Homo-oligomer: A and B are copies of this chain.
Amino acid sequence: MRDIFNQELRQLGSDLESMARQVATAIERASESLRNGDIIVAEQVIDADERINDLQRDIDDLCVMLLARQQPVAGDLRAVISALRMAQTLERQGDLARHVASIARGRYPEPPVPEPVMGLILRMADAAVRAGQNTSRLVATRDLELAALIEAQDAELDALHRRSFTMILDPANDLTRQQVVDAVLMGRFLERFGDHSTSVARRVSYLVLGSLSY
């Protein structure tokens, strides 16, 4: 019984790692599609989101089965509940990467917004990519130094997000209304992506330390 449980817990861990890796790839590609106006890459992100959603359903099913059949307690129970929630958060990050890619695709072959706003959005995208990569590493290693790094990257994203409004509102920056709309939406999607990475970082910290609120 315990052997099966451990095996299922390992499966759960490996599914979560796979999900986090796919989310990291999604935001990398979404960022690349923005930077290079690459419509093929944008479409890869959009298509691949379905697999991330499928993985969430698999993880959900596995968690419910584990709770029903194994009735875990203490650390094992925490692991299962955390997995349920991290899967939900990662699924949402996949959606946000897809939204960013959709804007890149929608404006092809033009960049969605001109400089210098585009430069700021790309810096936000870079920060989101780093957050996604570190989230993926954190889920795999549970190295809490990565959790601290993710929170710092999220703070950077928030600061860039605030600056994006200053830039968007600056009349010296020539922007069409469509560009204002796109800049606001991209900023919001990337900022939320960072929030979700922080949420995963806190859950992993809770799992490792067992004492934080989650």
Contacts and interface: CB of A to CB of B under 8 A. Distances in A.
Interface stretch (A3-11, A27-35, A120-128, A174-182): A174-182
A160 interface: no
B180 A165 contact: no
Interface in A29-68: 57, 60, 64, 67-68
Interface in A150-182: 165, 168-169, 171, 175, 177-178, 180-181
Nearest to A189: B188
A73 B57 CA distance: 19
Contact of A85 (B74, B77, B88, B185): B88
Contact of A184 (B68, B81, B185): B185
Nearest to A64: B81
Copies of this protein in the complex: 2
Contact of A81 (B73, B84, B175): B84
Interface in A76-111: 77-78, 81, 84-85, 88
Interface string A128-157: 000000000000000000000000000000
B57 A213 contact: yes
Given A67-B67, A67-B77, A169 B177 contact: yes
Contact of A180 (B60, B71, B177, B188): B177
Contacts of A180: 177, 180-181, 184
Interface of A: 57, 60, 64, 67-68, 71, 73-74, 77-78, 81, 84-85, 88, 165, 168-169, 171, 175, 177-178, 180-181, 184-185, 188, 213-214
Given A84-B84, A169-B181, 5 more contacts: A57-B213, A60-B214, A168-B181, A171-B177, A185-B188
